[in-house]
Structure 1
Amino acid sequence: MSGATLGTIGIIVLLALLILRIPVAFAMFLVGFIGIWMLNGWSAATGLLASETFTLASNPELVIIPLFILMGNVATVTGMSRQLYDAAYASIGQVRGGLASATVIGCGGFAALSGSSVASALTMGKVSLAEMDRFSYDPRLSTGVVAAGGTLGILIPPSTGFVIYAILTEQSIGRLFLAGVLPGILLLSAFLTTIALMCWWRSDMGPAGPSTSAAEKARALRGALPILVVILMTIGGIYTGLFSPVEAAGVGAALVILYGFVTRSLGPVALWRAARESIVTTATVMLILIAAHLINPFLALSHIPSAVGAALDALALGTIGTLVAILLVYLVLGCFLEGFAMLVLTLPIFFPVILELGIDPIWFGVLVVLTLEMGLISPPVGINVFIVKSVAPNVPLGDIFRGVLPFWFAMLVTLAILIALPQISLILPDTMFG
């Protein structure tokens, strides 16, 4: 059996295991280990398993993952996410669709603390859905905006998706974080525009909320000040070169813990619970990364990446045409696969093609992560949709999917803009590292 045939069988088996809901890491371990065993022998498979596990686990850059996850968990416990929503609520809640817009802004701010789309959707769903229901918002808008707003967590830095992309492609985490800032703001603006258009078209979708006095606005904005300080310290520190990404993660986690102790909103039990949840999430990510370092050599030995590259060359689509074709594959896979699984499965195949075409890998990383975000709200998997369903059990799943559809198209427009104008993604990392 040729390597290409075995590689194709391995990919089909891996997809079948994922469809059967086998955990991503275990599915990749199984296919990668058996594939290397069949191609290079038992000694090569066991040796690679031992060496790659130790090498990856001892990578100091990976400390960034538990620190940023801890920062997001502590921010949730201390109520910082609620304060951010309250500030946006007080500022724009009184306009038509204002509560939905406040939810998007809250998701964007919380994304800059947690780096997790699921955490953003879950946290802001608990905070905002009851308020929008109280003011008779259309359930399709209220649930759709939470599911879509949560996707900002994987694009606005710190982003776990960027960290995994950086590890798998050996790119700079700092450059990727900075590359996600302006696209994240652009996407947030696109969501706000979508809400405004929906409420202009149908005023009953998002009635105006209560007006607030200047004193109430000032008080709410003061409450959001700690979050803004943490965001400026972490992202600003990376941009100015004051911190490395790992140091920025440590500073951010320390600041939110200090805030919790000073305000007495964080006790030892709550800190322990947040730390334990962070460890569990980190262990899951680490297992996926270790498994990736088994599946990648298997795909390389089977020559699948070179075969895909030759096939794309034969189509003669040109650089942009090939890039769009690759992103279309991500869009389709996003309807069935979880985002991290897609990264691990596809990057070994597509990344060599991207390098050969001369496409900037940082720009490509932003486009891929945005495409993964679209998968988070695409049927039938749509993880964020199911997260919102768990918070709003009385809203039919079909209504939530219909609610996210306008935001899905807003993401598609944003993706097209970023393809047409790569400078939006590259200007910040180029000014820092150029």
Structure 2
Amino acid sequence: MPTLMSSNDSLSPLHGRRVLLGISGGIAAYKSAYLARLLKKAGADVRVVMTRGAEAFIAPLTFQALTGHAVRDSLLDPSAEAGMGHIELARWADVIVIAPATANLMASLAHGHADDLLTTLCLASHARLFIAPAMNQGMWSHPATQANLERLQQYGWHIVGPDAGEQACGDVGQGRMLEPEAILEALHQAYQRDTTPKPAAGLRITVTAGPTREPLDPVRYLTNRSSGKMGFALAEAAQALGASVTLISGPVTLETPHGVRRVDVTTADDMLAAAQQSVQKGCDLFISSAAVADYKAASYAEHKLKKQNGEETLTLTLVKNPDIVATIAAGERRPTVVGFAAETQDVEHYALDKLTRKKLDMIVANQVGANEGFDSDDNAVTLYWQAEGGVKAHELPLQSKVSLAHALLHEILRVNAASLAPAAQ
């Protein structure tokens, strides 16, 4: 269980913060009483705004007793609105935390609705925004909810949870509101990160990730086993280190990292076009971790290819795909370029050949095979680059791809500090 900080602990990043706790109409509203208590213990000044639906699950008097302030629940409260109370409340808050946040509330916020006090003050506030979703697992996984989630992230909302497990309706799956202790810990970590130096601050980083799919006919395509996990971890780590991140992804089933701009593509030609556009808009560091198909069909069959009677084989004519990382490295507006070499044998030999032949600044080499690299959550790599006196290498041992991404980025930033420093100023 996370360590909790008491109200008299001046080291708490929430100490002295003005926290507006928003509560919407879900069964998890009963947990919000404990969250309000924890926020008070952490030294925050807490005000509560409830929706009418929330009051069906827990009484406002509970929160008044816990926080020492009257609960607000109406946009058209004559006594409060005499002084434009909802605007004053929006200005007052340093932090807005909505827990629980129902699918309906998320949809309202994502689409800019202001039909009650809580949604109205969220639109009017410049506070830091956190939301803890809570809903049935089917509602959480619905494409509409996931689209609203992505839009909220683009608007600056920090998504806390949800958790997975047994739900009040009897279903089992993702959608439970995080426990109050975990929500408080997420707030602590968010503010602690604010005080930590960010070595990539000011940098514009583009990451390619996942496989490409090269169509043969309307139902078949050529692809590879890349999961995209390494590229997504790199994008998430780059954003956490302060960079503005564009993630160009082939077809994968991964969620977009918070704060990252995502561009979805399918073919190698699509990925090259997106990469060139990103560089043209401004890119300081280009990391090509995507597993791009080397070849595509010379011609696309408009109808499904059929088996021919008596024929035991099918011959396909393939042509080379564009070399994305080499093209970016050879461009006029060239950023610092880092490539990947996923090999099944002679890893160092092939990696160094690509480093030189494609004129890259660095290359990340790793062994892949039946049980290594692509599908695993862990990886081990070696980073190579040219330096005075010859090629330098830095080995990173087997670890989670999330941890590895942070270690890789720190080393990339260290080695290329001279070329990247001006952009970060």
Same fold (TM over 0.5): no
TM-score (norm: length of structure 1): 0.22
The answer to which structure has the higher strand fraction is 2
Q: Which is higher, the Rg of structure 1 or of structure 2?
A: 2
TM-score (norm: length of structure 2): 0.22
